[in-house]
């Protein structure tokens, strides 16, 4: 009888929230504000030490344009988190443009799931 494998280390609790955006927009929808509110509340209850805010864009438009758009999206989410009591110093804000799609597509394709900001509580 082979010995049982050692138990796997429990992964650190990472809570991820996805905030989606309309095509070529960086303004927050009501649903987006609701999700950001949940993230802000949970960041305080789980005692997060760092909150990653990562902006993304789909592949419609130039890479340079999409980089700027993803920066605006990340900034909009960060501002809403801050408005809801999350200190700016606790946030790591970054933007990836079209370089990290949730759904891989050809260049020029509009993909709603790639127009997002990911909020990760660490």
Which helix or strand (DSSP H or E) is residue 91 part of?
Answer: strand 91-95
Residue 121 lies in a domain: no
CATH of residue 91's domain is 3.30.1330.60
Task: Specify if 105 maps to a domain.
Answer: yes
Residue-level pLDDT at 97 = 98
More confident residue, 94 or 48: 94
pTM of the model: 0.88
Residue 54 lies in a domain: yes
pLDDT tens figures, 6-65? 666 554 555 999 999 999 999 999 999 999 999 999 998 887 789 999 999 999 999 999
The answer to whether the CB of 80 falls within 8 A of the CB of 39 is no
Range of the domain at 60: 26-114
Block residue for tokens 């438009």? 61
Distances in Å between the Cα of 112 and the Cα atoms of 15, 73, 97, 107, 117 are: 22, 14, 14, 14, 12
Query: What pLDDT is attached to residue 7?
Result: 66
In a domain, 66, yes or no: yes
What's the chain's average pLDDT? 92
Please report the pLDDT score of residue 14 as a whole number: 58
Alpha helices in 10-120 (DSSP H): 30-45, 63-83
Q: What is the pLDDT of residue 88?
A: 96
* Res. 95: pLDDT tops 70: yes
Q: What share of the chain has pLDDT > 90, as a percent?
A: 83
Cα gap 79→87, rounded to integer Å: 10
Q: Domains in the chain: how many in total?
A: 1
Percentage with pLDDT > 70 across the chain: 92
Comparing CA positions, the residue from 63, 67, 71 lying closest to residue 107 is: 63
């Amino acid at each position: 009888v082979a010995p049982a494998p050692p138990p796997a280390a429990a992964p650190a609790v990472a809570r991820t929230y996805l905030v989606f955006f309309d095509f070529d927009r960086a303004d927050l929808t009501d649903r987006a504000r609701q999700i950001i509110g949940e993230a802000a509340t949970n960041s305080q209850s789980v005692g997060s030490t760092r909150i990653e805010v990562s902006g993304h864009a789909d592949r419609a438009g130039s890479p340079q344009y999409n980089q700027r758009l993803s920066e605006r999206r990340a900034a909009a989410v960060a501002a809403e988190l801050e408005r809801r009591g999350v200190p700016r110093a606790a946030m790591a804000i970054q933007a990836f443009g079209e370089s990290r799609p949730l759904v891989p597509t050809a260049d020029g394709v509009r993909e709603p799931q790639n127009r997002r900001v990911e909020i990760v509580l660490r």
